[in-house]
Structure 1
Amino acid sequence: MKKISVRATTATAPTELSAFDRTLCKMGLGNANLIHLSSVVPKDFSVEVTENKHTLDKNHQGDRMYVVYADNRTSTVGDKVAAGLGWVLTDSDGGWGLFVEHVGETEDDVQELINKSLTSMMADRQEYEWGNIQSKIISTACEKEPVCALVLATYKREDW
Structure 2
Amino acid sequence: MSKKPQDGVESDDAHAMPRLDVGRLGDLLGFHLRMAHVAIYRDFAETTADLALTQKQLAVMELVAANPGTSQIDLAHTLGTDRATMMALVNRLAARDLIERRPSSADRRRQELHLTKEGRAMLTRARKLIDIHEQRFVDLFSLAEMDALLAALKRIYEER
TM-score normalised by L of structure 2: 0.24
Q: Which has the higher helix share?
A: 2
Greater Rg, structure 1 or structure 2?
2
Higher RCO structure, 1 or 2 (CA under 8 Å, sep 6+): 1
Q: Which has the higher strand share?
A: 1
